[in-house]
Amino acid sequence: MLLSLALFALTPLACTEPRSPAAPGRTETQGSAAAARLAALAGEYWDGRLAAEPVDATFLGFRSHDDRLPDVTEAGRAREIARLEALLGRARAVDAASLALPDRVTLGMLVHELESDLAWRACDLSAWTADQLGGPQVELFQLARIQTVRTVEEGRALVARWSKIGAYMDARTDRLRRALEQGKVAPRATVERVIAQLDELLAKPSGAWALMSPRDAAHPDWPETEQRSFAAAVEQAVEGGARPAFSRYREALAREILPRARDHARAGLSHVPGGEACYARLIPASTSLPLSADEVHAVGLEQVARIRDEMKALGAKALGTSDFAEIQRRLREDEALAYATRDEVEAAAAAAVARARAALPAWIGALPRTPLVVKRMEAFEEKHSPPAFYREPAQDGSRPGTYFVNTYAPETRRRFESEVVAFHEAIPGHHVQVALAQELGEVPAFRKHANVMAFTEGWGLYSERLANEMGLYSSDLDRLGMLSADAWRACRLVLDTGIHAKGWSRAQAVTYMMENTILGEGVVVNEVDRYITWPGQALAYKVGQLEIQRLRKDAEQKLGPRFDIKGFHDALLGAGAVTLPILGDQIARWVASRSSVP
């Protein structure tokens, strides 16, 4: 058995699904009381999370907090930690043995979500990081495209939120200064990226900002006085509040943070006070397994070597050479393999999604009803973003799932990478999983929107290879793109742990990824800076994929001709995103049920 497969079959965490059998003497009344307490806790947790993260609430389509921004002060953080700790204590006190199976899954998921939330808040990364991917200079401008205004009341909520941006940005700037006093400061590479983003932003007139776009939207059904008042209030919030605050944020980064930022040799958490303990908590939060950095690193090395052998074998078929360095050179340097225009990039993504949509019914029984659209990334985010990303649909049905494609600098984007990214982010990957979870029936709301990264990203990466089984790749070159993407995620296990637990420098990480994938240097540098900014998150992909592959192989061996791929995928996706140990129990029950079929 491969090291990776053995490793990920370890004993589950305390936060996984309780496995206690129903205890003798338990009454139906006791079970009903425990279920009622659990339902109340689940509702309280979710309501509190939406209140604590109102921007996330809007992205998800919960509109009751559209007038708010998160409380990023130290007092706000302390209050939220206290709330989560109290909920966790009450959740652990629920009598799991008296619950029916679906409620035991809910309890296990609730405990996991609470423990993960506490892990991220304990690390408090947002207090000192400069986030080029999801920082306020990106997130708030994405929000401007998401927070639709249809009614006067929605307009007032948006104005109330926009009017808070100045104070919100100043509070974030204050947290940077306080963290600096404690010796916590971002790496130079990410600070420079964020300053560059802010310079581009501040060079534009406010009228060109996405935050100003609601001002210019037409509302013919509103009274004229309301239209004028709304437009003036938006303009004042941006010109008088948001723009000066972003300028102050930029000056603080350039004058106070950058001179003391960590150099490229000290990019990881191990160089931050408390960073080692923080990273130890983030690994299980991201993977839902009790893994150490050393264990994950070893799996990554093994997987990189295995996938390299696959690439060499396919290179011999597709390119006439099995020399890995030559495969890299030709795929990176052949100008015919690059796109010429933005339209070509977008068209290739749309074509891949269309083929996958048509093939999906043969591979998954329960199909999502929620539509998916393909769009280009916005100009304010594309330069420092990955090749693509998926935005979940709004739960109220007001927005479909969206596959955002990065068309920036098309001449740097390789044709053989387009299909694999589309299959991961859109269909059969994230859109299928996320939409099905949101469409679940009688389960608590938090489970419909749970983001157990090892599950969600594990499914996305599993989908890349599934797409090959589905016959979706156009050529062997596109299949080489699939293998490169898999090597890329295997490298993440090595790089994330190398940077944050083993003291790797930024240059060392870039070199390793350049040597072991066929990604271009620009993409590699962006990726490495992503791992530096979001420690632990990148581990979820390969860990989750390996566990899904292990569960499928085990089911195929046990069921033989009774194995049904559509049934397996329905069992896998049928309860939403769950921890990997809960998923293992889920598939074991499906295998047992299929084993009894004549």
Tens of pLDDT, residues 265-294: 999 999 999 999 999 999 999 999 999 999
Tokens of 283: 């690994």
SS3 for 402?
strand
- Among 436, 473, 427, 457, residue whose Cα is nearest residue 546: 457
Residue 41 · residue 35 · CB < 8 Å: no
Question: What is the tally of helices (H) and strands (E) in the chain?
Answer: 26, 3
Cα radius of gyration rounded to whole Å, the chain: 24
Phi, psi torsion values for 401, nearest 5 degrees: -65, 145
Query: What secondary structure does DSSP assign to 500-520, as a single string?
Result: HHS---HHHHHHHHHHHS---
Q: Assign 3-class secondary structure to 192-255.
A: HHHHHHHHHHHCCCHHHCHHHHHHHCCCCCCCHHHHHHHHHHHHHHHHHHHHHHHHHHHHHHHH
The region that residue 539 occupies, defined by phi over 0 for left and psi between -120 and 50 for alpha, beta otherwise, is alpha
- pLDDT in the model for residue 280: 97
Contact between 367 and 435 (Cβ < 8 Å): no
**Model pLDDT, residue 324:** 97
Q: Which of 520, 459, 496, 460 is nearest to 301 (CA)?
A: 496
Q: How many CA atoms lie within 13 A of 421 on its CB side?
A: 23
428 preceded by a cis bond (ω within 30 of 0): yes
| Residues of the chain under the 70 pLDDT cut | 1-30
In Å, the largest CA–CA distance within the chain is: 73
- Count CA within 13 A, CB hemisphere, residue 339: 21
pLDDT at 337: 94
Q: What is the 3-state secondary structure (H, E, C) of 292-359?
A: CHHHHHHHHHHHHHHHHHHHHHHHHHHCCCCCHHHHHHHHHHCHHHECCCHHHHHHHHHHHHHHHHHH
Cα separation of the two ends of the chain: 31
The single residue listed with the structure tokens 């689940």 is: 42
Q: How far is CA 305 from CA 168, 287, 311, 499, in A?
A: 46, 22, 10, 20
Task: State the pTM of this model.
Answer: 0.91
